[in-house]
């Protein structure tokens, strides 16, 4: 993904070449920094424009950080619903005379057992980390499984496919062929996960978001716009954990 350095801040961005005369820059919680440019503009000029707009971009990114912190965080109490693959599963918390906590998914619900002496803030912090670990372990298996099918369809293979913490991106495909996906996507419906996977795999064929790129996505996932719209509307909800 293209990037520039502005002071101590690294600004990652995607650029879209279009039949237009002006340059438009968008900064949002779902897609991060997007630059819409005339199709005859070269990379050096694009980088120059981003550097000129860097103060405004970093201001918008800080505002997004503030929005993210206003999302209602999970409390990790009995009866609360936790998302996984687009469905919600209830959490049951048992408080017992034990030295340490345990966390598992069993018979269609999350079950946690915590020391009776722990205050609620410690229970919340501990179980959130347990859940994130569970998401990353089980979600990674699911994503590898889904990606394998699409890799065969597209005739591509990333050098690696990993889940990572990314606050303003759902996925990244590096020039070296590594794909990093935001671990939070395992909370989303499978059709949305598929879109993010296909989006990044398509970048192994076409690095830019041009017409050819979107044809590949559309051919692979004819209804990809529905998944993209889900992310636009519900993406911020995936920040309720972590």
Per-residue pLDDT of 219-228, as tens digits, reads 999 999 999 9
Distances (CA, A) of 93 to 43, 107, 122, 126: 53, 15, 13, 12
Average pLDDT over residues 130-141: 94
- Residue 167 confidence (pLDDT) above 80: no
Q: Count Cβ neighbours within 10 Å for each residue of 116-148 and write b for 16 or more, e otherwise.
A: eeeeeeebbebbbebbbebbeeebbeebeebbe
Average pLDDT over residues 225-239: 88
Regarding beta strands 24-28 and 3-6, do their DSSP bridges make them parallel or antiparallel, or are they unpaired?
unpaired
Question: Using 50, 70 and 90 to split pLDDT, how confident is the model at 82?
Answer: very high
What is the SS3 assignment for 222?
coil
What pLDDT is attached to residue 145? 95
Mean pLDDT of the chain: 90
In this structure, of 61-65, 89-93, 178-182, the range with the lowest mean pLDDT score is 61-65
Retrieve residue 58's tokens: 């970093």
The residues pairing with 90 across neighbouring beta strands, listed in sequence order, are 81
Q: How many CB atoms lie within 10 A of CB 162?
A: 14
Q: Count Cβ neighbours within 10 Å for each residue of 8-41 and write b for 16 or more, e otherwise.
A: eeebebbbbbeeeeebebebebbbbbbbbbeeeb
> Residue 19: left if φ>0, alpha if ψ -120 to 50, beta else—which one?
beta
- Residue 25 confidence (pLDDT) above 60: yes
Q: Position of tokens 């999302």?
A: 71
Q: What percent of the chain has pLDDT over 70?
A: 95
Start-end ranges of CATH 3.30.2010.10 in the chain?
139-239
Average pLDDT over residues 101-115: 95
Residue ranges with strand state E in 149-241: 160-164, 171-173, 178-182
Residues 57, 25: contact at Cβ < 8 Å?
A: yes
63 or 204: which carries more pLDDT confidence? 204
- Residue 189 confidence (pLDDT) above 70: yes
Q: Position of tokens 């690095």?
A: 207
What pLDDT is attached to residue 56? 93
- Residue 141 confidence (pLDDT) above 70: yes
What pLDDT is attached to residue 204? 95
Of 198, 202, 189, the C-alpha closest to 237 is: 189
What is the SS3 assignment for 236?
helix
What is the SS3 assignment for 202?
helix
Question: Using 50, 70 and 90 to split pLDDT, how confident is the model at 193?
Answer: very high
40 or 134: which carries more pLDDT confidence? 134
Question: Using 50, 70 and 90 to split pLDDT, how confident is the model at 66?
Answer: low
What is the CATH number that goes with domain 139-239?
A: 3.30.2010.10
Which residues are within 8 A (CB) of 95 and not within 5 positions of it... i.e. 6 or more apart?
A: 113, 114, 115, 116, 118
Dihedral sign computed on CA atoms, order 153, 158, 204, 182:
positive
- Residue 165 confidence (pLDDT) above 90: no
149 or 208: which carries more pLDDT confidence? 149
């Amino acid at each position: 993904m293209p990037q520039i350095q502005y002071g101590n801040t690294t600004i990652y961005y995607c650029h879209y070449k279009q039949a237009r005369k002006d340059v438009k820059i968008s900064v949002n919680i779902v897609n991060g920094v997007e630059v819409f440019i005339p199709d005859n503009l070269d990379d050096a000029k694009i980088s120059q424009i981003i550097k000129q707009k860097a103060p405004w971009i970093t201001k918008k990114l800080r505002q997004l950080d503030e929005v993210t912190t206003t999302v209602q965080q999970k409390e990790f109490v009995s009866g609360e619903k936790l998302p996984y693959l687009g469905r919600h599963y209830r959490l049951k918390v048992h408080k017992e005379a034990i030295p340490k906590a345990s966390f598992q998914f069993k018979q269609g619900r999350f079950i946690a057992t915590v020391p009776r002496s722990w205050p609620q803030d410690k229970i919340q912090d501990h179980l959130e980390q347990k859940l994130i670990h569970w998401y990353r372990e089980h979600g990674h298996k699911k994503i590898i499984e889904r990606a394998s099918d699409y890799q065969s369809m597209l005739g591509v293979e990333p050098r690696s496919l990993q889940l990572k913490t990314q606050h303003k991106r759902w996925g990244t495909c590096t020039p070296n062929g590594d794909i990093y996906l935001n671990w939070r996507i395992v909370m989303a419906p499978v059709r949305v996960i598929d879109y993010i996977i296909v989006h990044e795999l398509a970048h192994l064929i076409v690095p830019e978001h041009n017409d050819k790129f979107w044809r590949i996505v559309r051919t692979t996932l004819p209804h990809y716009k529905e998944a993209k719209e889900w992310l636009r509307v519900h993406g911020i909800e995936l920040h309720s954990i972590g």
